[in-house]
Amino acid sequence: MDQVFAPWRIEWVEREGDDGDDRCPFCALPEQTEDRENMIVARSDRSFALLNNYPYNPGHLMVIPRRHTGDYRELDEETLLDHARLKQRTIDALDAAFGPDGFNAGLNLGGDAAGGSIDDHVHTHVVPRWSGDTNFMAVISETKVIVEALEDTYERLHDAFADQAGTERPDDEDAAVRIVGPRS
């Protein structure tokens, strides 16, 4: 039987040590300033790029518009463009940092039926793929190992975004890279 292959159908799981904030995490996280701790690696005017806590593969990111809506059709043009541009930059950064063979990029819309864990705030998963790769989750199940791997991944992607044209490397090393201009 054919199986639909959709690596972005993976839970986004909140980190331990969250402030017990019951709000939507995709609204709450970018309002905080601890980008490195929160794993926000880059910010544009209307979107941000967040590392997945439990990646399908190393470098599994989510590109998330700031606007709180679960309906992709509600995003206005400026937000759509900003979100799409940050997706392009995310693919650039992943190429520079990890050189994958390909990517899966996708949205889960509509809650349980679509397999997403947060259905009221649109987010695009971007998953780097390697020829013949295995499911990272099956290989590494220790949370501690994942956290260490995430910190290394964060560092590499932070550098890759900061090396791009039109970005600003923050003075504060715990801050995300700012997108300030065009890609080229």
Q: Which residues bind Zn ion (CB under 5 A)?
A: 24, 26-27, 68, 121
Q: How far is the CB of 173 from Zn ion (least distance, A)?
A: 27
28 vs 91, which CB is nearer to Zn ion? 28
68 vs 169, which CB is nearer to Zn ion? 68
Q: Closest by alpha carbon to 130, among 91, 99, 96?
A: 99
26 vs 136, which CB is nearer to Zn ion? 26
**Among all residues, whose Cβ is closest to Zn ion?**
24
Q: How far is the CB of 24 from Zn ion (least distance, A)?
A: 3
Angle between helices 77-98 and 143-162 (to 10 degrees): 110
Establish whether 60 is a catalytic residue. no
Q: How far is the CB of 114 from Zn ion (least distance, A)?
A: 17
**Pick the catalytic residue: 83, 123, 125, 158?**
123
Give the active site residues. Answer: 123
